[in-house]
């Protein structure tokens, strides 16, 4: 197989489709089709689908759904044309399972590629890519190692910026903290983090970097892929200035690893083309496809041995993923949300 190199910054998406013509062979594939419902950004997933169609002969009818995928699939019932359901955030995948609109998949390929903590115990959903919740810090701050628990330390009073505690990115982290330390200790931690806020918990992850540059705060938590987006932005742009103003530290739990969330997929319960849906998922965890996830959106591959995007490799590096199963973390979502409100985190 030929090696390929993807362009940097703004050129990457323009030429990505042509770079994806990677020969991947699948046995017993005939001309056919399947229907994908997805909440993923078209610019990321469509080139992958086009490449797979060219190599497999199977057409993907893609339905991009910003909100309400679960409600749509439920309303369609047994007549739903959906074969594969793809979503961002493990909570959204679990919601699909709990609503009874998915089915288990028995695939040795998926089980071999995806660690057990990144897939459902009953094989109802599988992670396809990861994003880590990391620490953005002023580049002059003397911090090299960090625990999530330290964000509540009194020494950082008035120095922390975060987006809303009710945003799924932060609710998932609070749920993970409950998994590690229990509800009572997590409430104490959350109150400590609130006391350390330099401003109201609001905005987005990139606003954390913006406000560090602006001197409003010294640190905050944000997703790893935004680092790639900012540091690859046009020289002199606001986003590039924000990215250049921070360094990134890989936090871990005191008794664990780095917290991650995922994009993932599940086969629809009434999938007319179940076999094709499974084959597509198996392709998406293959080395060529995982390389595209890493390069196109600065995400972490779920398949071991796949190289990171150079920007992420330099700014963050490999991560030690927390070993608590995502299924366990999701069980504490409601508790986490209630705690956020109880301590008045977003007020």
| pLDDT, tens only, 244-287 | 999 999 999 999 999 999 999 999 999 999 999 999 999 999 99
Q: Which CATH architecture has domain 11-130+260-309?
A: 3-Layer(aba) Sandwich (3.40)
Least confident stretch, 50-59, 68-77, 246-255? 50-59
Helices (H), 182-308: 183-195, 205-213, 225-231, 238-244, 274-284, 287-297
What's this model's pTM, rounded to 2 decimal places? 0.87
State the burial class of residue 75 (Cβ atoms within 10 Å of its Cβ: 0-12, 13-18, 19+).
Answer: exposed
For residues 88 and 43, give the distance between their C-alpha atoms in angstroms, rounded to a whole number.
15
Mean local confidence (pLDDT), 147-171: 97
> φ, ψ for residue 148 (rounded to 5)?
-55, -35
Q: What is the pLDDT of residue 45?
A: 87
Quick check: 56 pLDDT over 60? yes
pLDDT tens sequence across 89-132? 899 999 999 999 999 999 999 999 999 999 999 999 999 999 99
User: How does 10-25 read in b/e, with b if 16+ C-beta sit within 10 Å?
Assistant: eebeeebeebbebeee
Three-class DSSP labels, 324-338: CCHHHHHCCHHHHHH
Confidence of residue 43 (pLDDT cuts 50, 70, 90): confident
The class level of CATH for 132-258+320-342 reads: alpha beta
For residues 239 and 234, give the distance between their C-alpha atoms in angstroms, rounded to a whole number.
8
DSSP 258: B
State the burial class of residue 4 (Cβ atoms within 10 Å of its Cβ: 0-12, 13-18, 19+).
Answer: middle
The strand pair at 251-252 and 102-103 is best described as unpaired
Q: What is the pLDDT of residue 325?
A: 94
Mean local confidence (pLDDT), 196-225: 98
The binding site for Fe cation consists of 225-226
pLDDT tens sequence across 276-334? 999 999 999 999 999 988 988 899 999 999 999 999 999 999 999 999 999 999 999 99
- Domain spans, the chain: 11-130+260-309, 132-258+320-342
The binding site consists of 225-226
Nearest one of 65, 64, 82 to 276, comparing CA atoms: 82
Asked whether the domain spanning 132-258+320-342 has the same topology as the one spanning 11-130+260-309, the reply is yes
Mean local confidence (pLDDT), 20-40: 63
Quick check: 29 pLDDT over 70? no
């Amino acid at each position: 197989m030929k090696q390929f190199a993807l362009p940097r910054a703004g050129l990457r998406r323009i030429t990505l489709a042509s770079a994806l013509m990677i020969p991947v062979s699948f046995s017993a594939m005939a001309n056919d089709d399947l229907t994908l419902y997805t909440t993923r950004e078209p610019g990321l997933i469509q080139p992958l689908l086009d490449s797979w169609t060219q190599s497999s002969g199977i057409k993907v009818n893609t339905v991009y759904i910003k909100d309400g995928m679960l409600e749509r699939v439920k309303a369609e019932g047994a007549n739903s044309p959906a074969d594969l359901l793809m979503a961002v955030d493990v909570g959204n995948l679990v919601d699909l399972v709990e609503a009874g609109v998915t089915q288990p998949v028995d695939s040795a390929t998926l089980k071999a590629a995806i660690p057990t903590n990144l897939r459902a115990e009953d094989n109802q959903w599988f992670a396809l890519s990861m994003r880590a919740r990391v620490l953005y810090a002023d580049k002059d701050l003397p911090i090299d190692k960090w625990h999530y628990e330290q964000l509540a330390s009194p020494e950082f009073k008035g120095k922390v910026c975060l987006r809303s505690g009710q945003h799924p990115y932060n609710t998932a982290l609070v749920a993970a903290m409950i998994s590690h330390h229990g509800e009572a200790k997590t409430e104490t931690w959350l109150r400590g983090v609130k006391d350390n806020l330099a401003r109201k918990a609001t905005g987005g992850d990139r606003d954390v970097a913006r406000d560090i540059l602006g001197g409003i705060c010294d640190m905050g938590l944000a997703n790893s892929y935004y680092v790639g987006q900012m540091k690859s932005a046009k020289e002199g742009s606001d986003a590039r200035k924000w990215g250049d103003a921070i360094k990134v530290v890989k936090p871990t739990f005191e008794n664990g690893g780095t917290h991650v969330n995922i994009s993932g997929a599940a086969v629809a319960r009434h999938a007319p083309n179940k076999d094709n849906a499974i084959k597509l998922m198996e392709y998406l965890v293959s080395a060529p496809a995982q390389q595209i996830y890493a390069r196109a959106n600065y995400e972490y591959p779920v398949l071991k041995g796949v190289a990171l995007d150079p920007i992420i490799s330099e700014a963050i590096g490999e991560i030690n993923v927390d070993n608590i199963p995502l299924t366990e973390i999701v069980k504490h979502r409601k508790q986490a949300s209630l705690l956020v409100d109880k301590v008045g985190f977003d007020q």
